[in-house]
Amino acid sequence: MNKKIILSHYPDASEKDWKNWRWQFQNRVTSLKKLAEITEILMPRQEKLHRVLCTYPMAITPYFLSLIEPDDENHPLTLQCIPDEKEVSVSPHCSDDPLNEDDSMPVPRLIRRYPDRVLAMVTRSCATNCRHCNRKRFWDKKDPSTLKNRLDKMVRYVADSPEIREVIISGGDPLTYDDHHLEMILSSFAAIPHLEVLRIGSRVPVVMPMRITKELCRMLKRYRPLWFNTQFNHPSEITPDAGRACNMLQEAGIPVSNQSVLLKGVNDNEDTMRRLLYGLQKISVRPYYLFHCDPVKGCYHLRTEMTEGLNMMENLLKNCSGLAMPQYVADLPGQSGKVPILALSRSLKNDLQKHQDFFDNFE
């Protein structure tokens, strides 16, 4: 979709505004009325979607909206950001919180599933609400307490737990905070002597890349070793703006890795996945994990069969540079954590059997 067309629906906005993350954030498309003004994509389905939005609100930055194809309601980026009535239909075997995160919080919003790491959900807000989000249960809930209040409790808990060496700052998307608030979070954790590493989980390089500014990078640099994980799911998301954002982080000494989610109609075929992985390699972003989509209520229609994912990964393994290969994993509840999905297909087994002499005791 053309950026100029979108801008024409914001009468006072300029090109300069477009490049400003605050403008992008404040002007997210959150109503069906605004969406209908900009694109006719949902015209026939408008009525039904009101119900979806009551359960799972919509939020899309004008930037991310500019990447969708206006005439294709099954475009891979459309599927990720535009609501679908299937979100409120029956979702077999799905639940709001399949990873049991709510029961793994020693203090509010601090998820502890492993002995040496915790995940701090510092906000419920996101630049764009991804329809496949495994925390979409929080979208319609307002934060009852202040950031400072929540942060104090989390920091106290981590400070009293010397076995924790890493904090993952997540949400929601922590980069929806301004630099001042983000630094308050980083500096509070960084002051804990036994913490070795901080990690940020954020999708802003994909959905609002203008958030990565020189000032932000200067500030982040002070908190190294700091790792940054993002989520590109489709090659069309690797735009020059997104590439520039990742590059700025890397130049500040912050390694950027990618955790994709395997999504039906988005990236569940070999060609798309290869283009995504090679595209990431070109912008020096490490393909780290490919997550099998969790059984989350409201995401059933975007889930694939695990055998489809396995077949795709096996083909990629044969035809794709090893440096570009992520690990295909399923996240399981509680302390089981991430489990690699590795079963061998008949064809790979045959390949191994053909070369039995390579192994002492292959069966």
Q: Which residues bind ligand SF4 (CB under 6 A)?
A: 126, 129-130, 133, 135, 171-173, 203
Write down the least CB distance from residue 342 to ligand SF4, Å. Answer: 25
94 assigned to active site: no
Residue type, position 279, single letter: G
How far is C-alpha 68 from the chain's CA centre? 18
Residues in CB range of 240: below 8 A, 6 or more apart: none
- Cβ proximity to ligand SF4: between 303 and 320 the closer is 303
- Cβ proximity to ligand SF4: between 227 and 278 the closer is 227
114 assigned to active site: yes
- Cβ proximity to ligand SF4: between 41 and 130 the closer is 130
Write down the least CB distance from residue 135 to ligand SF4, Å. Answer: 5
How far is C-alpha 142 from the chain's CA centre? 21
Q: Which residue is catalytic, options 96, 97, 152, 331?
A: 331
- Cβ proximity to ligand SF4: between 76 and 171 the closer is 171
Write down the least CB distance from residue 128 to ligand SF4, Å. Answer: 6
- Cβ proximity to ligand SF4: between 56 and 328 the closer is 56
Is residue 232 within 8 Å of 242, Cβ to Cβ?
Answer: yes
Q: How many residues does the chain have?
A: 363
Q: Which residue is catalytic, options 45, 86, 117, 264?
A: 117
Distance CA 26, CA 112 (A): 33
- Cβ proximity to ligand SF4: between 55 and 311 the closer is 55
- CB half-sphere exposure, 323, CA atoms < 13 A: 7
217 assigned to active site: no
130 assigned to active site: yes
Helices assigned H by DSSP within the chain: 3-8, 15-18, 21-26, 32-38, 46-55, 62-65, 76-81, 147-159, 179-190, 204-207, 214-221, 240-251, 270-282, 306-319, 346-354
Output the CA angle 255-327-217, nearest 5 degrees.
15
Q: Which residue is catalytic, options 63, 81, 126, 211?
A: 126
Write down the least CB distance from residue 333 to ligand SF4, Å. Answer: 18
294 assigned to active site: yes
113 assigned to active site: yes
Is residue 247 within 8 Å of 205, Cβ to Cβ?
Answer: no
Write down the least CB distance from residue 323 to ligand SF4, Å. Answer: 26
Q: Which residue is catalytic, options 114, 217, 221, 244?
A: 114
Q: Which residue is catalytic, options 130, 293, 299, 320?
A: 130
Residues in CB range of 184: below 8 A, 6 or more apart: 147, 148, 151
Write down the least CB distance from residue 144 to ligand SF4, Å. Answer: 19
Helices assigned H by DSSP within 44-113: 46-55, 62-65, 76-81
Q: Which residue is catalytic, options 81, 133, 246, 320?
A: 133
Report, as residue numbers or ranges, the catalytic residues: 113-114, 117, 126, 130, 133, 135, 294, 331, 338
